[in-house]
Amino acid sequence: MDSLCVHPGFEKFCDRPTFSLAHPARIVFVPKNTVHKLMQAHLTRRQLEIVEYLRTSHRQTGIMPTTREIQHSFGFASQTAAMSHLRALERKGVIQRLAGKARAVIFPEHLDRGEIVDIPIYGHIAAGMSQDAEPERQGCISVDIASLGIPRHARTFALKVRGDSMINAHICHGDTVILEFREPRKGDIVAALIDGETTLKRYLITKGKPFLRAENAAYPDLIPARELVIQGVLIALLRHAA
């Protein structure tokens, strides 16, 4: 069956977490409209390296690195050196720093986006047979909640999809699903704990009895023998770029 990694907040819903999350590959991404700005800013080689590090770290984890993390990454003797580089980048208009925040760096082009919320990623939903492993948080993803239709006050978390049991619902390997802590309705796709194992399936009810169904004919319906606890209801899907 599909299986998912649950975070510590799930402890009140289920007996044990089950799946860990592999660390993603390091990806460097610089938007085209930013390249010209960097060239015009006359950045030093070190400053270009720091900008690349900021973008890569944010893309991988959904959050900006702290000055201490920048210090350690570049081998600076102190955080003061990291702060000095950030101030120089701010003067050149490449970044903006937000007062009173530990991760107080933002790229100007991000200021034009809608309301951005950081949603924690807590592991994988393995769209296949279950496996046991320890849970591991993998940072956050930053999303524009208005564009995804996510309610502002929704209690959400994200999980990575692995496998093919939900392919007929257009949920594919490598996608990211965003789920909300709430009561399910018939037909919702849910993250659930069923008889001690976690899974992503469609929630159905027949003759007053709930069960779970895959969106792939190769997988059987799951009828709980002892327990069925809904941990989250899918409210958004982020497609993995091949």
Last residue of a domain, one of 62, 80, 112: 112
From residue 193, give the alpha-carbon distance in Å to each of 4, 21, 66, 181, 240: 9, 18, 36, 14, 25
Q: Kindly report, residue by residue over 142-180, the tens digit of the pLDDT.
A: 787 777 788 778 889 998 888 899 999 999 988 889 999
Residues 15 and 120 in one domain: yes
* Total domains in the fold of the chain: 2
Residues 207 and 150 in one domain: yes
Residues 95 and 140 in one domain: no
Alpha carbons 199 and 220: distance in angstroms, whole number: 13
Residues 133 and 214 in one domain: yes
Residues 119 and 180 in one domain: yes
Residues 90 and 202 in one domain: no
Among positive and negative, which fits the CA dihedral 83, 81, 65, 52? positive
Q: Kindly report, residue by residue over 97-123, the tens digit of the pLDDT.
A: 876 666 678 877 666 556 678 888 887
Domain that holds residue 70: 32-112
3-state DSSP helix/strand/coil percent for the chain, to nearest 5?
A: 25, 30, 45
Task: Give catalytic residue positions.
Answer: 165, 201
| Amino acid found at 87 | R
Alpha carbons 214 and 220: distance in angstroms, whole number: 7
Alpha carbons 168 and 191: distance in angstroms, whole number: 17
Last residue of a domain, one of 85, 112, 139: 112
Crossing angle of helices 79-91 and 67-74, rounded to 10° = 110
Residues 157 and 229 in one domain: yes
Last residue of a domain, one of 63, 80, 112: 112
What's residue 110's pLDDT?
A: 63
Q: Kindly report, residue by residue over 197-238, the tens digit of the pLDDT.
A: 888 999 999 999 999 999 999 999 999 998 999 989 999 998
> Beta strands 156-163 and 116-127: pairing type?
parallel
Residue 189 belongs to domain with CATH number: 2.10.109.10
